[in-house]
Amino acid sequence: NAGVMQNPRHLVRRRGQEARLRCSPMKGHSHVYWYRQLPEEGLKFMVYLQKENIIDESGMPKERFSAEFPKEGPSILRIQQVVRGDSAAYFCASSPPSSFGVGYTFGSGTRLTVV
C-alpha cells in the first residue's frame, strides 16, 4: 500500500519558468492538501481539494499559483513565472473522507529551487 507519492523530489527552475508539482494520494484517500515549507519556518497551508473541487484555497497566493485534482490522475500544484521567493519544500498530504481532525498522511515533498 503505497503512501502519498510526490514527484519530482527535486525541481530546479529558472526565474520565469513554470513549475508543476504532482501528488498522488494514498489509495482510498479522496482529500488532498498542499503545504509549503519555507526555510526555517513551519508548514503553511495552501489549498485543500477533493476530486474536481477546490474546497479551501485561503492559503494560496493570489497570483501565479493554481491547483487541481482531476477525476483521474494526480493532484497538480502549478506555479507560473517562478521567482526566487518560491524556492521552498512543497508537501502534499491526503486523508480519507470524514477524516475531520484525524490527521493526514504526508508525502516526502518536492523541493523547488529557483535559480
Nearer to other proteins, 19 or 95 (CB): 95
How far apart CA 95 and CA 84 sit, in angstroms, is 31
Q: Which residues bind other proteins (CB under 8 A)?
A: 4, 6, 33, 35, 40-45, 48, 55-56, 58-59, 91, 93, 100-109
Q: How far is the CB of 17 from other proteins (least distance, A)?
A: 24
Nearer to other proteins, 15 or 44 (CB): 44
CB-neighbour burial class of residue 40 (10 A; exposed 0-12, middle 13-18, buried 19+): exposed
Dihedral in degrees, nearest 10, Cα atoms 18, 19, 24, 30 = -70
Nearer to other proteins, 18 or 52 (CB): 52
How far apart CA 83 and CA 103 sit, in angstroms, is 32
Q: How far is the CB of 92 from other proteins (least distance, A)?
A: 9
Evaluate whether 5 touches 23 at the Cβ level (below 8 Å).
Answer: yes
Q: How far is the CB of 10 from other proteins (least distance, A)?
A: 10
Q: How far is the CB of 9 from other proteins (least distance, A)?
A: 9
